């Protein structure tokens, strides 16, 4: 899976291997953190590809990072607003770069595949 995320997967694999070496009987589990972006509207998750690729093969944007959720929570904490009142543009630089739009506490767009 390294080719799918070459900036992230190698270091994550090292962590799993180190944990496996230290705790050989403890299961290691990898979880994709796409849940925050499940609120993307269709105009944000559809790629400019034929519609049948979406309907038949589920080709769509998922947004593979949870960093915007963490930043949204920090925005809620510092602004003392209710989650549904928080509007943000989150930016991430380092080990890649990404941006996400958060409206009323929900992800509405992302630069991530």
Tokens 């409206």 sit at which residue?
103
Q: 33, 52, 66, 109: which is the annotated catalytic residue?
A: 33
Tokens of 88: 């943000």
- The yes-or-no answer on residue 33 being catalytic is yes
Alpha helices in the chain (DSSP H): 9-22, 42-45, 51-57, 67-79
Q: Catalytic site residues?
A: 33
């Amino acid at each position: 899976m390294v080719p799918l995320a070459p900036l992230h997967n190698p270091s994550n694999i090292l962590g799993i291997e180190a944990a496996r070496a230290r705790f050989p009987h403890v299961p290691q589990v990898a979880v994709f953190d796409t849940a925050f972006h499940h609120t993307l509207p269709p105009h944000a998750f559809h790629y400019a590809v034929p519609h049948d690729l979406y309907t038949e093969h589920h080709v769509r944007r998922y947004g593979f990072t949870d960093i915007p959720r963490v930043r949204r929570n920090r925005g809620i904490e510092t602004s003392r607003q209710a989650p549904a009142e928080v509007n943000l543009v989150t930016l991430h630089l380092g080990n890649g770069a990404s941006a996400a739009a958060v409206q009323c506490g929900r992800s509405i767009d992302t630069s991530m595949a």
